[in-house]
Amino acid sequence: MQYNIATWSRRLCRSDQNVSLPPALQALSRLLPQDIAQTKAPVAHCHEESDWPERCRYSSLPFGPIQTTSWLIQTNIGAEFSRDSLIAGWRSQRQIRSPLFLMELATLAFGPQYVARSLDTCMDSGVWPVNPKPQTIANPIGSINLEVPEVPRNPAPGHIRLDQSNAHQVIAGGPFSALKVLMSKNDYWHKFIYQQEGNNTFFLARNCSGAIEKLCYSMLLLADPQGELITLQIVLGFTPVNSVKLNMQDNFSKTLQRRFEPSNRSLDLSEFHSDPQLAKIVYCPLSQPKTLYYILALAKKAFSNILELKLSHNDIEDIKSLDLFSNSPLRYLDLRYNQISDIDQLTSLQRVALVSLWLDRNPVCAKYGSEDSYVNEIRIRIKTVKSVDGVVIGPIGFRRNHRNYMVRPSQNELVNDFIQHYFSLYDGDIRKKMQGLYHRDALYSLTATYLPGQTTSSTARLQEYMTESRNLRKLSDYTKSYNLLQHGQDRILEALCKLPPTQHDVYSFTVDVPFQTDNSLLINICGVFRETKATQTQPVRAFNRTFILLRMGEGEYQVTNEMVHISNATTEQNTKTFLHPLTSIPSVPTIASTADRVLTESEKAQMTQMFSQITEMNYLWSRKCLAEAYWDVKDGLITFVELYKLRRIPPEAFSKDEDSNKS
């Protein structure tokens, strides 16, 4: 009977009983090692066709398609594989150990005519073509050329043994950027040279049996960081190692000499793999622990007095090699932009008397919710460190300064909602809309002070504030102390409406909540605003407002006391504020409903666009930041600034390509 893959598949799927391995596969098994060929024929257990291949299993098949492929490579069978067929078969049946897939593999390796012919003929003769000519298949994904004279004829299945005196060639179609993904992997490769020929790039390697075996298991496909598949070819036994005329140590030593600065005894190994001169002859990624150890040992031998070591932008995960610098004069270490994910890696530096450490832009930084915990974990492991990521740290036990402080951080959302709502109304066209914010028995007072010696002093013009100022130290008529203390909501709103129209720079705000109970809280806000009268210039003012809020109901608060202090801005405030374009913060109806407010998509889009302009992040990351801040612009900006200082915002957040993809 004539069989091909399709007919055998239908027969196998429709069977409701055990089916023996077809004769063709028994013939194919003769190519396999003796310990496999002597096993009894595998038995298939299949049920309904709809269950294929999920419920298909093979009880006595000791090898799978991966191991079979690995062995076929070792037996010097040249093959070209169809990308679509092989990937489809691999993905759908890689866990099943299917004879059907083995037949597909045989078809792809030897040519479809060998399966299309009578398989009974192959079985009767007991002969399978020993060296069939590979077929030309569309979209080849790889080819293997074996020239390894000392590979045992019957190695253990799934294991490759190579002559260590030979170098092997790994070829990738396309630019070197694709191939270096493989060369940088922390596996068993001993890479020592690469070149480019036309559109192909290759490198030579030795002592790499384990790594080549891994490639066989992945069907010579490797994914780059973008998820694209890299097609590989391997030529085993490409050339004897001793025939490669390349003095690696001499090339490394020359590179280290170029990168050492004697004046400050600094060695710069940043982006070492991209060194313009070294990269012409060798790819040397310090992400490989063995390579990093070798280069650092060579550097320490050449320069015994290194004070500064820069290792940024090397994708380093393991820094155990830095133990080489124990009890050395090394004081400065830059590990930025690497892949260090475990803080315990720093234990390698316990015997290094480091003073300054840069660790930002590593995955480990994102594991800590505060600067204090991050710094303390570093200081526990490196007791001599005085500076982390460019910030001088004080002795253990000293409190750190915080720009914003809340006695109850859990109430952060309430405070932000109040600030956003209050200043959006205060800077609005009609301050009468603030009615309802103040308690009917609320108290309000204002003081004003002129600051001499500032760039704003000559144009201060604080008369409108001075007439309302209740500065007891400067009042000549103490009866004014009563008249200028505004009592009740109506009088407070009347006093606020007398003041010039304003625009506050919300990015200058410093907020403290030093006191809070279940029913009340004290909020202090200081920052900068400018007057927006159309008939004059827009002078910049400094302010300090203190509010006492009283809880009136569930999620509803009113101001019971407010003190305001206003002065002309200092020189520093005048130069460092209003650096970003500002748009009005979306207002909400009443403070009582801020916790439940719902923004339209149009409002969210407008806020996102504004946030993107201020932070220079792309639209997608700006929207993500605002969403995590519950669409509170100020809270989002505070979070952005804190993360930016810690270098925890990824580079892709500032990529405009994301906006292009969005559009």
- Please write the tens of the pLDDT for every residue from 302-341: 998 899 999 999 999 999 999 999 989 999 999 999 999 9
432 assigned to some structural domain? yes
Provide the token pair at 248: 């690696």
23 assigned to some structural domain? yes
HEC secondary structure over 97-166: CCHHHHHHHHHHHHCCHHHHCCHHHHHHHCCCCCCCCCCCCCCEEEEEECCCCCCCCCCCCCCCCCCCCE
Given the structure tokens 């006695």, which residue do they identify?
407
Q: What pLDDT shows up at residue 24?
A: 40
Q: Does residue 217 share a domain with residue 272? A: no
Residue-wise burial string across 144-167, b where 16 or more C-beta atoms lie within 10 A, e elsewhere: bebeeeebeeeeebbebebbeebb
| Residue-number span of the structural domain to which 260 is assigned | 248-392
Task: Give the full edge-to-edge strand order of the sheet including 387-388.
Answer: 260-261, 266-268, 308-310, 332-334, 356-358, 387-388, 391-392
Q: Please say whether the beta carbons of 423 and 434 come within 8 A.
A: no
Domain-ending residue, one of 243, 271, 287: 243
437 assigned to some structural domain? yes
Q: Does residue 561 share a domain with residue 462? A: yes
Q: Does residue 539 share a domain with residue 505? A: yes
Q: Does residue 272 share a domain with residue 384? A: yes
156 assigned to some structural domain? no
Question: What CA–CA distance (Å, rounded) separates 150 from 224?
Answer: 33
Q: Are strands 229-240 and 140-145 parallel, antiparallel or unpaired?
A: parallel
Q: Does residue 253 share a domain with residue 229? A: no
147 assigned to some structural domain? no
| 492 contacts: CB under 8 Å, gap ≥ 6 | 438, 442, 444, 486, 562
Q: Residue 300 burial (CB < 10 Å; 0-12/13-18/19+)? A: middle
Residue 364 has what DSSP assignment?
G
411 assigned to some structural domain? yes
Question: What CA–CA distance (Å, rounded) separates 77 from 144?
Answer: 8
Q: Does residue 637 share a domain with residue 591? A: no
What angle, 0 to 180 degrees and rounded to 10, lies between the N-to-C axes of helices 65-74 and 99-110? 30
Q: Does residue 560 share a domain with residue 578? A: yes
The three-state secondary structure class of 438 is: strand
Q: Does residue 89 share a domain with residue 43? A: yes
Question: What CA–CA distance (Å, rounded) separates 236 from 166?
Answer: 8
152 assigned to some structural domain? no
Domain-ending residue, one of 207, 223, 243: 243
Question: What CA–CA distance (Å, rounded) separates 291 from 302?
Answer: 17
Split into its structural domains, the chain has a count of 5
| Domain containing residue 210: CATH number | 3.30.70.330
Residues of the chain falling short of pLDDT 70? 1-163, 173-201, 207, 217-219, 222-228, 244-246, 394-403, 534-536, 580-598, 657-663
Q: Does residue 382 share a domain with residue 298? A: yes
| Domain containing residue 339: CATH number | 3.80.10.10
Residue-wise burial string across 78-116, b where 16 or more C-beta atoms lie within 10 A, e elsewhere: ebbbbbebbeebbeebeebbbbbbbbbbbbbbbbeebbe
10 assigned to some structural domain? yes
Q: Does residue 591 share a domain with residue 604? A: no
- Please write the tens of the pLDDT for every residue from 512-552: 998 888 899 999 999 999 998 866 678 899 999 999 999 98
Domain-ending residue, one of 595, 627, 642: 595
Residue 435 has what DSSP assignment?
T
HEC secondary structure over 217-235: HCCCEEECCCCCEEEEEEE
| Domain containing residue 602: CATH number | 1.10.8.10
What angle, 0 to 180 degrees and rounded to 10, lies between the N-to-C axes of helices 619-628 and 633-645? 110
Residue type at 321 in one-letter notation: S
Q: What pLDDT shows up at residue 218?
A: 67
| Domain containing residue 415: CATH number | 3.10.450.50
Q: What pLDDT shows up at residue 565?
A: 95
How big is the chain by its Cα radius of gyration, in Å?
Answer: 37
Torsional sign, CA 603, 607, 612, 614: positive
Q: Does residue 574 share a domain with residue 633? A: no
Q: Does residue 260 share a domain with residue 227? A: no
